[in-house]
């Protein structure tokens, strides 16, 4: 049984339900900023991060999406799952990327979680990233702590083993809860999709400096 200790001061009492994810993907990507991503380890330890950067991907018309044009493969099958499903894939044979499936089942859409800020158990997250405690990180490590999808997954011990988990159930060990809205949201082009033709210019990346 997973032991969950909810702390009002970090604002993640309210578990996001399927209805939250079952909406326009770009809207969900914006609304995820400030929410709390919770990762529960096997011993019940909670690693909590505040989401600070996201990107939207919409398969039906977005050439940057793995399932563009409803392309179904063993890798992309999870993108067709119900909204609120974790889609985790491996890039370059070494980095994992966490996505949240959005919109109705059968529509291959998702939000990539590009960055976050540690809220609880930062020492464990830092050890996973750099082999040291949070206070022992140097300036470079602090700047590059969780500012990328691969870095985030490494810090939270997320791999393909968690692909397909239901984010709307605390028992899954990976879920998202509420949080305060950011004071300001920045909008821009997505990163690393030079191959995506006109989709390169879609302003579907969102981030906050909060």
What pTM, to 2 d.p., does this model score? Answer: 0.93
Instruction: Tell me yes or no: is domain 11-178 CATH 3.10.580.10.
Output: no
Give the count of beta carbons closer than 10 Å to the beta carbon of residue 148. 17
d(CA 142, CA 133): 11
Residues of the chain with pLDDT under 70: 1-13, 210
**pLDDT of 209:** 81
Q: How far apart are CA 168 and CA 188, in angstroms?
A: 29
Buried b (16+ CB within 10 A) or exposed e, 2-22: eeeeeeeebbbeebbeeebbb
- Give the model's pLDDT for residue 93: 85
Instruction: Kindly report the backbone phi and psi dihedral angles of residue 31, in degrees, each rounded to the nearest multiple of 5, phi listed first.
Output: -70, -20
8 A C-beta contact, residue 48 and residue 183: no
Boundaries of every domain in the chain: 11-178
Find out whether 161 and 96 touch, Cβ atoms under 8 Å: no
Q: What is the pLDDT of residues 155-179, one digit of tens each?
A: 999 999 999 999 999 999 999 999 9
- Predicted confidence at residue 82, as pLDDT, reads 98
Query: Which phi and psi angles does 79 have, rounded to 5°?
Result: -65, -20
């Amino acid at each position: 049984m997973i032991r969950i200790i909810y702390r009002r001061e970090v604002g993640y009492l309210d578990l996001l339900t399927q209805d939250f994810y079952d909406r326009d993907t770009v809207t969900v990507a914006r609304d995820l900023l400030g929410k709390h991503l919770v990762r529960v380890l096997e011993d019940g330890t909670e690693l909590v991060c505040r989401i600070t950067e996201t990107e939207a991907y919409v398969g039906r018309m977005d050439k940057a999406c793995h399932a563009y044009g409803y392309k179904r493969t063993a890798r992309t099958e999870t993108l067709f799952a119900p909204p609120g499903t974790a889609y985790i894939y491996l890039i370059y044979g070494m980095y994992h990327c966490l996505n949240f499936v959005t919109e109705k089942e059968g529509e291959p859409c998702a939000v990539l979680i590009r960055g976050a800020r540690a809220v609880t158990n930062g020492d464990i997250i830092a050890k996973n990233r750099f082999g040291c405690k949070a206070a022992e990180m140097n300036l470079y490590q602090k700047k590059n702590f969780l500012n990328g999808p691969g870095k985030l997954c490494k810090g939270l011990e997320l791999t393909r083993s968690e692909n397909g988990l239901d984010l709307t159930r605390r028992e899954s060990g990976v879920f998202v809860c509420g949080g305060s809205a950011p004071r300001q949201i920045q909008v821009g082009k997505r990163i690393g999709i030079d191959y995506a033709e006109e989709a390169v210019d879609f302003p579907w990346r969102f981030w906050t400096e909060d």
